[in-house]
Amino acid sequence: MVSEQFSLNGKTALVAGDSRFWSKYVAAALAEAGADVAIAASSSQRLKEASGEAEHLGRKIVTIPTNMTDPSQVNNMVEQAVTELGRIDILVNAADLEFAKPFLEITRDEWQQVMDTNLNSIFYSCQSVAKHMLSARKGRIVNIISCLAERGLSHGSAYCVSMGGVLQLTRTLALEWAREGITVNAIGTGWFAETDRTGALDEDRLLRYLPLKRYGHPGEVGSMVVYLASDTTDFVTGQFFYADGGLMAHA
């Protein structure tokens, strides 16, 4: 049955990274689909929000305070998740440090912070989790990034480069682990809001660029993660899926 193909009953997931939206909605979606979920972030507030969103769904929820830019903490995060949940079937990377500044004004420390948060943290978590997935010869990795991985933006050099790096990491790992039972995919997000924002075009200039004339809701990304984490996508790897209201369909 189709519904059974999308079920994550008996699966375990790790949602890692500090983002404005994704952690709590993705964790809730995975739990609703039947997975036990570990949530890791450095922000105690985001851990609290994410666990609160998922706990009422009746699944085991574990929160792990982690500085995702510190490889030793990331390794400890993974070992704790494995200890608490038994294994990690699904890894969702949800780091997102927004940054905009004219290129000539970016300091080395600012550049490094963006790379550490948006790119290097993904490298650390994929490398640490993959050791367990390779032993099991099974796993799903989903990286939530930005459409700016494939599109430039004025004053967005650091951010665009960091997201482009994660996209290339997604593709290369998908190829490297294709025969090991591990799929690696990415979701490219556009403009999202937790409230209903579908006002008249003259009230919100960004909406004029969105064919659907509305912002996305973070819960819609959660549904895409469940799809990519499910058994129905065994033949899907190395792909970049837009969740952008049609934004990237423009020339």
Token pair in block for residue 251: 């020339």
The answer to the question of residue 27 being in a domain is: yes
Token pair in block for residue 183: 């799929």
Catalytic residue selected from 124, 159, 215, 227: 159
The answer to the question of residue 251 being in a domain is: no
Q: For every one of its 251 residues, what pLDDT tens digit does the chain have, with 9 covering 90 and above?
A: 556 778 999 999 999 997 777 888 999 999 999 999 999 998 888 888 878 877 788 899 999 999 999 999 999 999 999 999 999 999 999 999 999 999 999 999 999 999 999 999 999 999 999 999 999 999 999 999 999 999 898 999 999 999 999 999 999 999 999 999 999 999 999 888 776 555 444 446 677 778 788 888 888 999 999 999 999 999 999 999 998 777 888 75
Domain that holds residue 232: 2-246
The answer to the question of residue 25 being in a domain is: yes
The answer to the question of residue 201 being in a domain is: yes
The answer to the question of residue 146 being in a domain is: yes
Tell me the C-alpha distance between 93 and 142, whole Å. Answer: 6
The answer to the question of residue 141 being in a domain is: yes
Domain count, the chain: 1
CATH number, residue 230: 3.40.50.720
Active site residue 209: no
The answer to the question of residue 157 being in a domain is: yes
Model pTM score: 0.92
Q: What phi and psi, each to the nearest 5 degrees, are found at residue 186?
A: -135, 150
**Whose structure tokens read 């403009």?**
191
